[in-house]
């Protein structure tokens, strides 16, 4: 069975937004970017800046990942003109925990490629936290290449 991408509805968006604030805050704490006591507030400020009009925010596309009739995840893209070509930036791609390890991540990325081509996108970019080895492996397997590194050293 294939994976399809469909426009996210308001109820799915509300649940995604609520859940993702906490997850995004946690990822920044884990990466050493934010202190725990300020992380949720920082995450909320970033989300409000990026999606001031929710699902209707210009340039942002939020999609539900469907496997048959079941919603199994989400995909959030920002589509813009950069360097004189249409590009997409993946802000988030996430499959439900119980759907992982079944090859559906690869199918989702393939569905993204087809979607991007259908809307004239020439390049897809993304950010992945250094500690997210599973995601890095998926992206490399589906043709993404490292374009730069951010590194840090914590002094005690």
Confirm whether 29 is domain-assigned.
yes
Confirm if 30 and 133 have CB atoms less than 8 A apart. Answer: no
pTM of the model as a whole: 0.88
Dump pLDDT digits (tens) for 112-156: 999 999 999 999 999 998 888 999 999 999 999 999 887 877 788
Higher-scoring residue by pLDDT: 100, 143: 143
The predicted model gives 67-79 an average pLDDT of 96
Q: Cβ of 144: how many Cβ atoms within 10 Å?
A: 16
Report the CATH number that the domain containing residue 129 is assigned in CATH.
3.40.630.30
Domain count, the chain: 1
Confirm whether 154 is domain-assigned.
no
So what's the pLDDT on residue 130?
86
Confirm whether 125 is domain-assigned.
yes
Confirm whether 151 is domain-assigned.
no
So what's the pLDDT on residue 152?
76
Confirm whether 130 is domain-assigned.
yes
Range of the domain at 85: 3-142
Confirm whether 71 is domain-assigned.
yes
Confirm whether 148 is domain-assigned.
no
Q: pLDDT tier at 74 (50, 70, 90 boundaries)?
A: very high
Dump pLDDT digits (tens) for 2-17: 999 999 999 999 999 9
Dump pLDDT digits (tens) for 8-47: 999 999 999 999 999 999 999 998 999 999 999 999 999 9
Confirm whether 155 is domain-assigned.
no
User: The sheet that has 70-82: what strands, in order across it?
Assistant: 3-7, 60-67, 70-82, 85-95, 123-126
């Amino acid at each position: 069975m294939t994976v399809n991408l469909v426009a996210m509805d308001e109820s799915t968006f509300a649940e995604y937004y609520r859940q993702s604030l906490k997850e995004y805050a946690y990822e920044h704490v884990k990466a050493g970017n934010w202190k725990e006591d300020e992380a949720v507030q920082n995450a909320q400020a970033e989300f409000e800046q990026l999606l001031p009009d929710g699902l209707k925010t210009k340039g942002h596309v939020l999609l539900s990942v469907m496997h048959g009739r079941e919603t199994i995840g989400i995909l959030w893209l920002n589509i813009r003109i950069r360097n004189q070509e249409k590009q997409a930036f993946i802000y988030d791609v996430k499959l439900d925990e119980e759907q992982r390890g079944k090859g559906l991540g690869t199918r989702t990325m393939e569905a993204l490629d087809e979607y991007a081509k259908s809307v004239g996108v020439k390049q897809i970019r993304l950010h992945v936290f250094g500690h997210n080895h599973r995601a890095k492996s998926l992206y490399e397997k589906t043709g993404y290449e490292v374009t730069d590194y951010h590194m840090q050293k914590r002094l005690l």
